Amino acid sequence: MKPKRQRVIQHVLVLLAALATPHIALADNPLQPVVSFDSPGLSAGMEDILGRFQKFKQKRRQVLAELVVPIEQCVRRKDTDHVAFHGCIDWHSSVHGMWALVKYTALTGDQRFVWLIKDNLTPANVEAEFDLLRKNPEFEMPYGRAWFLRLALDHQATFNSNQLVPMGGYVARSLMDYYRRNSPQPLSLEYDNASWALINLYDYGISRKDRTITGFVEELVKKHFNPTNGACPVQNEETVWQNFMAVCTTWAYLVVHVAPSLNLQEWLKQFFPPNIAITPIRNPQNTRQLGINFSRSWGFWRLFKATNDPRYLKLYLDHFEQQYTNPSWWKGDYEQVGHWVAQFGVFAIAPVFSE
């Protein structure tokens, strides 16, 4: 066996052993250097990456508890006339605010928000929201509906309740009809982000053991998302696009999640070429960009779990820590930031609780 290959195997074994260690988190210095996928010093820095993750995991509950504070505040508000989802400025933000409270309950066992969840999601309130969607087929299509599927599947898993299943089934079918009429575009932006909608549709199908749903998403991914047509223009997220949700990493998240039989290493070599450099947003040009770091984290975590490549773990930590260590970026001005960004952080840190 060649020495280089031996070193690679040793690094992987060390990494897997570290991930099995209970208690791990936030680095003292959130400003990390740019990572390119051919960084020569990466292997030498393996211990630093693992140490950062150990600190991060150790503080995950504290971080989650801090993120949920502005979320509870916005869910309680009466910002709109919606009966269940009336806080957080708008319907979709209220839905993912409610989801975050449900997920917090599931991850921690802390019951402090159960009353608030139940108070909002009464049978009558849910039926009224269901009726709203039936009467307005384009309402919150696809973004808010995708978040509702995330709420529905985690609500059922957390409370062993089928309360949201009828509405969830309707929303899933409405999304499928939408993508039958409109071919999903991998580079679609913001509220039209097809990768995000299909991730949630797929996970809802898994939760319901519904092969009609999961098979539908698998076919769309195979047809529209597997071909990369070259590198994804990740730098556009900071310049041209000016949107709030990561595009390239969410696209990659969808592909590795839905198409595990894909030749992933070859696909990623084209999608994120070895010389591409990715760094967190450190000087946001507008408040919409404040969703990018957390939402990139979603994809980097999924890529790390799919590949065991520590470069993706480093990128996950870089992006999450850059956002989290600037509190005004996720709990600042209510209308611009406080009603939505923390929820993205909850989605980013949630999978770390499974480690």
The C-alpha atoms of residue 302 and residue 249 are separated, in whole angstroms, by: 9
Structure tokens at 234: 């990740």
In a domain, 271, yes or no: yes
- What is the enclosing helix (H) or strand (E) of 277? strand 277-278
Three-state SS at 60: helix
Q: Are 309 and 303 in contact (CB under 8 A)?
A: yes
pTM: 0.87
Domain that holds residue 176: 63-354
- What is the pLDDT, as a whole number, of residue 22? 32
In a domain, 300, yes or no: yes
Q: Which of 293, 256, 288 is nearest to 272 (CA)?
A: 256
The C-alpha atoms of residue 262 and residue 283 are separated, in whole angstroms, by: 36
In a domain, 46, yes or no: no
In a domain, 29, yes or no: no
Split the chain (355 residues) into runs of 10 and give each run's mean pLDDT: 38 38 32 45 70 95 98 98 98 98 98 98 98 98 98 98 98 98 96 98 98 97 86 87 92 92 86 89 93 97 93 96 97 97 98 95
In a domain, 30, yes or no: no
In a domain, 6, yes or no: no
Structure tokens at 295: 């939402």
Residues counted in the chain: 355
- What is the pLDDT, as a whole number, of residue 263? 85
- What is the pLDDT, as a whole number, of residue 42? 53
- What is the pLDDT, as a whole number, of residue 44? 53
Residues 188-192: contacts with CB within 8 Å, 24+ apart? 188/247, 189/241, 189/243, 189/245, 189/247, 190/143, 190/243, 190/244, 190/245, 191/92, 191/142, 191/143, 191/144, 192/142, 192/143
In a domain, 246, yes or no: yes
- What is the enclosing helix (H) or strand (E) of 35? strand 35-36
Q: Are 293 and 315 in contact (CB under 8 A)?
A: no
**Beta-bridge partners for 277:** 36
- What is the pLDDT, as a whole number, of residue 43? 56
* Count of domains forming the chain: 1
- What is the pLDDT, as a whole number, of residue 57? 96
In a domain, 39, yes or no: no
Here the CATH number for the domain that contains residue 208 is 1.50.10
